[in-house]
C-alpha cells in the first residue's frame, strides 16, 4: 500500500516540487497551504508522515506539531529556512523526527522520508510482553516500537528510538557520530548538531522517568550506553 504523506507549505512552488518527487516515489500526497488546513487534513485522513513547513500562516509548523503531538506520534519532517532552528524543531516540546533546510534537494527529501518510514513499519502499540533487549532497567520492544525505564514507557520519536536501539544492540560499544549516522540514518548525511540534539532529548526524556544517566559521552570519540 502506498504511504500517505501530508505536505504543508504556503509556497505553491515548493508544494508542487515535493508532490512531484513523492508521487514519483510511489507515495500518495495530500497538500495543505497553511497550518489550519494541515490540521484539518490530518484529522480527516489516515496520514503516515507529515512534511511540515515552519513558517506558515494561520498556525505555524511548530504550533501544528504541538497540536498533533497531543494525540499522535505520526512522524514529522520539518522544512526550515534556518539551520539554527534545529533545537526548536527537534525539541522535546515539539517532537520532530528530522528536518531539511531550504533550499533542498527533492531527492534528499525523499530519501529522508523513506528512512523515517522504514523505522516506523512496526509502530503498532500492542501491549509489550517480553523485551527483545534489556540493559538494567532499560527494556526495548522493537516490534512494539516501545522503550521503558523501570517499567515506565518513554515516548520517543522514530529517530530517537532508532538511535536508542542502535546503542542497546551493542551496549559496550562506543559509537562515533559517523557510526550513529550510518546506523540510524542509513548513510544519509546529517550534521553533528542534529545527532547531539537527539541524544540530549533522549537523555531528558529518560531523566524525567528517574534515569540519572542513560547515554555516556566519551569525549573525543562519541557516545555509548551507560553501564547498568
Q: Is 68 in contact with 94 (CB distance < 8 Å)?
A: no
**pLDDT at residue 186 above 60?**
yes
Question: What pLDDT digit, counting tens, does each position of 137-167 carry?
Answer: 999 988 777 899 988 889 888 788 889 999 9
Of the pLDDT bands very low, low, confident and very high (cuts 50, 70, 90), residue 10 is very high
What are the domain boundaries of the chain? 4-119, 133-225
pTM above 0.75, yes or no: no
Q: Which residue has the higher pLDDT, 87 or 210?
A: 210
Peptide bond into 103 cis (omega under 30): yes
CATH class of the region 133-225: mainly alpha
Classify domain 4-119 at the CATH superfamily level. Response regulator (3.40.50.2300)
Amino acid at each position: 500500500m502506498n504511504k500517505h504523506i501530508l505536505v504543508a507549505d504556503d509556497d505553491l512552488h515548493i508544494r508542487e516540487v515535493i508532490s512531484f518527487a513523492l508521487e514519483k516515489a510511489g507515495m500518495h500526497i495530500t497538500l495543505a497551504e497553511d497550518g489550519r488546513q494541515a490540521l484539518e487534513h490530518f484529522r480527516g485522513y489516515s496520514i503516515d508522515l507529515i512534511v511540515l513547513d515552519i513558517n506558515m500562516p494561520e498556525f505555524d509548523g511548530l504550533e501544528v506539531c504541538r497540536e498533533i503531538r497531543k494525540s499522535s506520534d505520526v512522524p514529522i519532517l520539518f522544512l526550515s529556512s534556518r539551520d539554527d532552528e534545529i533545537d526548536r524543531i527537534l525539541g522535546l516540546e515539539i517532537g520532530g523526527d528530522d528536518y531539511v533546510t531550504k533550499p533542498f534537494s527533492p531527492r534528499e527529501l525523499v530519501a529522508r522520508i523513506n528512512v523515517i518510514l522504514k523505522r516506523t513499519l512496526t509502530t503498532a502499540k500492542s501491549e509489550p510482553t517480553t523485551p527483545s533487549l534489556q540493559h538494567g532497567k532499560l527494556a526495548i520492544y522493537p516490534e512494539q516500537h516501545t522503550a521503558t525505564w523501570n517499567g515506565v514507557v518513554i515516548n520517543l520519536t522514530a529517530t530517537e528510538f532508532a538511535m536508542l536501539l542502535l546503542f542497546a544492540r551493542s551496549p559496550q560499544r562506543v559509537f562515533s557520530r559517523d557510526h550513529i549516522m550510518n546506523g540510524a540514518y542509513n548513510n544519509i548525511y546529517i550534521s553533528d548538531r542534529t545527532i547531539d540534539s537527539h541524544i540530549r532529548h533522549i537523555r531528558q526524556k529518560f531523566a524525567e522517568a528517574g534515569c540519572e544517566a542513560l547515554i555516556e559521552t566519551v569525549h573525543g570519540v562519541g557516545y555509548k550506553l551507560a553501564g547498568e
